[in-house]
Each structure stands twice: as structure tokens, then as C-alpha cells.
């Protein structure tokens, strides 16, 4: 796969995290870069530690990415799983003490690590990591108290899998990134025309390498954008113009945006923004 562009690194935005400020107040959340040979395949590692006096439920609107997650809760033995692209709001109850070390792959980036299956095989599923990848040692990843040691263990595990370069995986990654960056792409037909391929060809590529269709990716990035706008700090005159935003994101009208946002996040965007205040 092509090398990531200079200046790339762990994202600093909060897109997809519902009520990010509350999450960061409850847990230690960090993103870390992978070893250079892995960066074309991975967005980043994400590390969470918590020690809570009372339970807390975190909520995430998933990205079109596969994650590999190693975790330990209290005194339980550590374990790992492959988490396919989640179609619904993901909710996780955290309590007591615990630790999670996650790998977020780039869209298209997981297939080279498990080339025998289409990525759609995992969509909406969470399966034991040993069912998909070899030589996973959850204890080696989550046991060290030193953060650098956890990152080094993740690097060693993934490098040991020796992912094979796959031009189709690279293409899928580039296409999803184009959708993410270019908000003028609002329909699958537009993307197909830009790539000079049929919509059916795009759908097959996305199923095999991303796990969800291109239409789903377009819609999900719309919701991420709307969620980030709703998360913006409340300042006089800073209330988003939802009708204008709906038009910018390609919705037919504000009501369509409100329906999608409510179905995904659970409350309308104005109510969600009021909660943040």
C-alpha cells in the first residue's frame, strides 16, 4: 500500500465520539502512531484506562473501519476480539478498573491481514481475535503499565502477521478517504463517475475491502460531521444553521438530516447540543 502522506499522524478530532468531553473526563484516552511499516494500513492505536467510582456508559458512532481490541476488566483474564464495522451506535458500560488497547485500521486496511475473507464477513460482528488472526497475546498487550510497552507489543503482533500489499485494498482506502475529505460527493453515482467505474463495481470493492457499501460510508461521514458541529463549544451566535448544514452535507432538507441524526445518536441534533451545554 502507498505510504501515508507526510504530516499524517493520529487524528486529534473527536468525530464519532458521543459527548466526547464527558468521556475524556471519565477515562484516560490516547491515540498513538503505529510503526512506520504499519501506517499505510492503520489509522492509529487507541488506549483507554479507567478507575471509576460508579459505572459510566460510553457511546460511539462507528467509523467504516475494522478494529482489533485487547481488553481487561478488573481481575478478569485479558482477551481480544476483531470488531467489524458497526452499523449501529456502539455503547459500552465501563465500571471499576479496566484497560483497552485498540487498533483502528484504515478503511480497506484490514483485508491484507486476513486476505482469505471479505471484510463484510465481520460487519456488525465481534469475534475472538484467535478466530481471525494468529499469535495474538492479549496479556502481552494489556499487562504492561508503560504505555510505550503496550504500543511496542501491538507493533510486534501486527508486524509478525506480515500483511501482503494489495492494490485493491489501497484503492479502497483511497476511495473512502476521498469521500471523507470531499463533502461534494453525496451519492454513489458521483463517486463512480469520478472513478470512471460502475456503481456495481464500487459496491463489490467496498463489500470485499471496507465491509459496508459506499452509500453507507457517505451517510456515516455526514452524521460524523453533524455530530462534530453539535459538539462545538456553545458561544453566542455559534448555533449551527442546521438547514444550511443539511444542504452542505447533501440532504434534501433539514428534516432528513434530523431523522438520520436522531436514528443514529438517539436524540435530535438541537437536543443533543443542549445537553452539551
Q: Which domains does the chain have, with CATH numbers?
A: 17-160 (2.60.40), 167-276 (1.10.10.60)
Sequence-distant (≥ 6) Cβ neighbours of residue 262 within 8 angstroms: 268, 269
Q: Which of 39-53, 60-74, 260-274 has the lowest mean pLDDT?
A: 260-274
Instruction: Work out the pLDDT band at 238, boundaries 50, 70, 90.
Output: low
pLDDT at 184: 84
| The pLDDT of residue 176 is above 90 | yes
Q: How confident is the model at residue 10 (pLDDT cuts 50, 70, 90)?
A: confident
Q: Which own/partner contact pairs does 23-26 have at CB distance under 8 Å and 24+ positions apart?
A: 23/58, 26/50, 26/52, 26/56, 26/58, 26/94
Q: What percent of the chain has pLDDT over 90?
A: 70
Average pLDDT over residues 98-109: 98
46 forms bridges with which residues in the sheet? 31, 102
pLDDT (tens digit per residue) in 44-55: 999 999 999 999
pTM value is 0.90
- Higher pLDDT: 9 or 60? It is 60
Distance between CA 259 and CA 272 in Å, rounded? Answer: 13
pLDDT at 141: 98
The pLDDT score that the predictor gives to residue 5 is 45
Quote the Cα angle for 153-136-121, to 5°: 125
Confidence class for position 6, pLDDT limits 50, 70, 90: very low
DSSP one-letter code for 120:
G
Average pLDDT value for residue range 145-168: 96
* Percent of the residues in the chain that have a pLDDT greater than 70, as a whole number: 94
What is the spatial distance between Cα 246 and Cα 255, in angstroms, rounded to a whole number?
9
pLDDT digits (tens, 9 = 90+) for 189-232: 999 999 999 999 999 999 999 999 999 999 999 899 888 877 76
Least confident of 12-16, 185-189, 260-264, 271-275: 271-275
Amino acid at each position: 500500500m502507498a505510504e501515508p502522506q507526510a504530516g499524517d499522524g493520529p487524528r486529534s478530532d473527536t468525530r464519532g465520539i458521543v459527548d466526547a468531553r464527558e468521556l475524556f473526563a471519565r477515562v484516560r484516552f490516547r491515540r498513538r502512531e503505529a510503526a512506520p511499516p504499519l501506517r499505510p494500513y492503520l489509522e492509529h492505536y487507541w488506549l483507554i484506562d479507567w478507575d471509576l467510582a460508579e459505572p459510566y456508559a460510553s457511546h460511539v458512532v462507528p467509523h467504516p473501519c475494522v478494529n482489533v481490541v485487547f481488553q481487561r476488566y478488573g481481575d478478569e483474564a485479558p482477551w481480544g476480539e476483531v470488531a467489524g464495522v458497526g452499523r449501529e451506535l456502539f455503547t459500552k458500560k465501563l465500571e471499576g478498573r479496566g484497560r483497552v488497547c485498540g487498533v483502528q485500521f484504515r478503511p480497506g486496511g484490514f483485508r491484507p491481514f486476513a486476505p482469505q475473507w471479505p471484510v463484510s464477513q465481520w460487519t456488525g460482528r465481534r469475534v475472538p481475535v484467535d478466530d481471525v488472526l494468529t499469535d495474538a497475546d492479549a496479556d502481552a498487550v494489556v499487562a504492561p503499565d508503560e504505555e510505550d510497552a503496550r504500543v511496542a507489543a501491538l507493533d510486534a503482533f501486527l508486524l509478525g502477521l506480515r500483511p501482503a500489499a494489495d492494490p485493491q485494498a489501497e484503492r479502497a482506502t483511497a476511495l473512502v478517504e476521498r469521500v471523507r475529505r470531499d463533502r461534494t460527493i453525496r451519492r454513489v453515482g458521483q463517486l463512480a463517475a469520478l472513478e470512471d467505474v460502475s456503481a456495481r463495481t464500487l459496491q463489490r470493492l467496498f463489500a470485499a475491502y471496507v465491509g459496508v457499501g459506499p452509500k453507507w460510508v457517505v451517510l456515516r461521514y455526514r452524521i460524523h460531521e453533524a455530530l462534530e458541529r453539535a459538539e462545538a463549544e456553545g458561544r453566542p451566535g455559534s448555533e449551527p444553521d442546521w438547514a444550511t448544514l443539511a444542504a452542505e452535507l447533501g440532504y434534501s432538507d433539514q428534516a432528513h438530516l434530523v431523522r438520520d441524526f436522531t436514528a443514529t445518536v438517539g436524540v435530535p441534533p438541537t437536543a443533543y447540543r443542549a445537553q452539551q451545554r
